[in-house]
């Protein structure tokens, strides 16, 4: 199924999502009659964002906000700033958010936003103008009870603060709950920054126990060493694992003995990437997929694990820190090879779970400690993964298909019970 207003490429994010939905239909029973509602976004907005640049010229940028499903609650999902952002990508990311939120049983639907821009080429003032105009343009469909944006690729707490302030000025009241991932003193939550990486670690720790993989001395390769990848690497390092390879937009580095993370993480913050880290040797980017390791963490962008790369992987366990990093054909290859994949829609759901905590805290104006946040996060993620694993064992299916089965059942049950209006 394709939509008339978007060109669907083979192996694109949207086609990958559609393939994943098709695989789960046999396990939906009577709910399968509603499956088409999962294959169409409820609402998609394309906006023009004109801003005056520092040199006086006016430039136009294209922005998107896609709401895939609002059946179980308000839309929830991040906003990314990237030169390769497309409508199709945003639609797929919104759909994965629907699955992710339902998989951990959060009272949200799925949404996602983005602007096609390289934010590194904008000054801070231009970035603020871009953010505020984008927020005003999508303001007609977002709100604390409608759709709640959050940080994603190349966005952060400062951008969320601008979004919150712009929305608040337009509605005439401070509305801290309109976004999550805000600075702490503007209603943000402790534990939010490292929550996605923590979720990757928690689900990875549980998966390792299931396959009798000892984390002490386990070799880990991480693709993408931003917020998610570095946070996950730090926690695995604390658990006794060795981070032997890392890759980001600046290059690939390797150290068979494991990196000193107390030096690598500051290096990345100071230089903008892993390249040039003195406690490592450089490696060709494509050779990253041949690294001998027990755990592989793709935490960059979509479509990274292709069929060819899946055949070359040495890992026993793949933890998807990124959204949609594995192509469906590669999923099949890894399943045949006995490589366990913990899918993105449960593995990286720690971020949206703590975003939910932030949203709840904003409404009550009562805030929890970081320890309380982490305990609640761990409990929710471990419980969700165990439920998914039980489903996988019962039907003898992969964790990805089981996650979709659990999530789609929840979404479509809500759809059936709500009925169609009018």
pLDDT score recorded for residue 2:
58
pLDDT score recorded for residue 5:
59
Q: Is residue 296 part of a domain?
A: yes
Give CA separation, 39 vs 2, 85, 95, 302, 387, in Å. 9, 20, 8, 19, 25
Q: Is residue 357 part of a domain?
A: no
**Structural domain that includes position 297:** 195-347
Choosing from 347, 371, 393, the residue where a domain stops is: 347
The closest of 124, 149, 324, 130 to 224, measured between CA atoms, is 324
Residues identified as active-site: 112
pLDDT score recorded for residue 334:
97
How many separate domains does the chain show? 2
CA pair distance 248, 337, nearest whole angstrom: 26
Cβ atoms within 10 Å of 404's Cβ, excluding its own:
29
Whether 161 and 216 share a structural domain: no
Q: Which residues contact 189 (CB under 8 A, 6 or more apart)?
A: 180, 354, 355, 357, 358, 361, 367, 368, 373
Give me the phi and psi of 238, to 5 degrees please.
Answer: -65, -25
Whether 63 and 166 share a structural domain: yes
The closest of 290, 339, 349, 287 to 318, measured between CA atoms, is 339
Low-confidence ranges of the chain (pLDDT < 70): 1-2, 4-10
pTM over 0.85: yes
Task: Supply the CATH number for residue 285's domain.
Answer: 3.40.50.720
Whether 205 and 330 share a structural domain: yes
Give CA separation, 151 vs 51, 56, 180, 255, 322, in Å. 21, 29, 8, 31, 14
Q: Is residue 268 part of a domain?
A: yes
Q: Is residue 79 part of a domain?
A: yes
**For the segment 151-200, what is each residue's pLDDT rounded down to a tens digit?**
998 999 999 999 999 999 999 999 999 999 999 999 999 999 899 999 99
CA pair distance 207, 267, nearest whole angstrom: 30
Q: Is residue 25 part of a domain?
A: no
């Amino acid at each position: 199924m394709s939509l008339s207003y978007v060109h669907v490429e083979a192996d694109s994010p949207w086609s990958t999502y559609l393939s994943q939905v098709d695989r789960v239909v046999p396990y939906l029973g009577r709910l399968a009659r509603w499956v088409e509602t999962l294959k169409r976004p409820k609402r998609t907005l394309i906006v023009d964002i004109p801003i005056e640049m520092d040199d006086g010229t006016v430039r136009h940028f294209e922005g998107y906000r896609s709401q895939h499903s609002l059946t179980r609650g308000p839309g929830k999902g991040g906003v990314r700033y990237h030169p390769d952002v497309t409508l199709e990508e945003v639609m797929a990311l919104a759909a994965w958010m629907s699955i992710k939120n339902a998989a951990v049983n959060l009272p949200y639907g799925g949404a996602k936003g983005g602007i096609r821009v390289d934010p590194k080429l904008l000054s801070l003032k231009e970035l603020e103008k871009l953010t505020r105009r984008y927020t005003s343009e999508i303001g007609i469909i977002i709100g604390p009870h409608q759709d709640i944006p959050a940080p994603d690729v190349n966005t952060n707490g400062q951008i969320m603060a601008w979004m919150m302030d712009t929305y608040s000025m337009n509605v005439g009241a401070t509305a801290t709950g309109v976004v999550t991932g805000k600075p702490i003193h503007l209603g943000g939550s402790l534990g939010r920054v490292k929550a996605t990486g923590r979720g990757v670690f928690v689900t990875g720790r549980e998966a390792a126990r299931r396959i009798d993989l000892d984390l002490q001395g386990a070799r880990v390769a991480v693709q993408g060493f931003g917020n998610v990848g570095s946070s996950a690497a730090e926690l695995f390092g604390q658990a006794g694992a060795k981070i032997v390879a890392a890759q980001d937009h600046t290059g690939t580095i390797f150290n068979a003995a494991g990196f000193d993370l107390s030096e690598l993480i500051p290096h990345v913050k100071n230089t903008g990437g892993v390249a040039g880290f003195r406690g490592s040797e450089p490696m060709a980017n494509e050779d990253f997929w041949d690294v001998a390791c027990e755990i592989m963490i793709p935490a960059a962008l979509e479509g990274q694990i292709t069929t060819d790369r899946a055949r070359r992987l040495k890992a026993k366990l793949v933890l998807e820190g990124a959204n949609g990093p594995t192509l469906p054909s590669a999923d099949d290859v890894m399943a045949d090879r006995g490589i366990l994949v913990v899918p993105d829609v449960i593995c990286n759901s720690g971020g949206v779970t703590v975003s939910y905590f932030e949203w709840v805290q904003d409404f009550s104006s009562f805030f929890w400690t970081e320890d309380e946040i982490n305990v609640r996060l761990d409990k929710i993620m471990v419980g969700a993964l165990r439920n998914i694993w039980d489903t996988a064992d019962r039907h003898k299916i992969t964790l990805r298909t089981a996650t979709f089965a659990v999530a789609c059942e929840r979404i479509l049950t809500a759809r059936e019970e709500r009925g169609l209006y009018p």
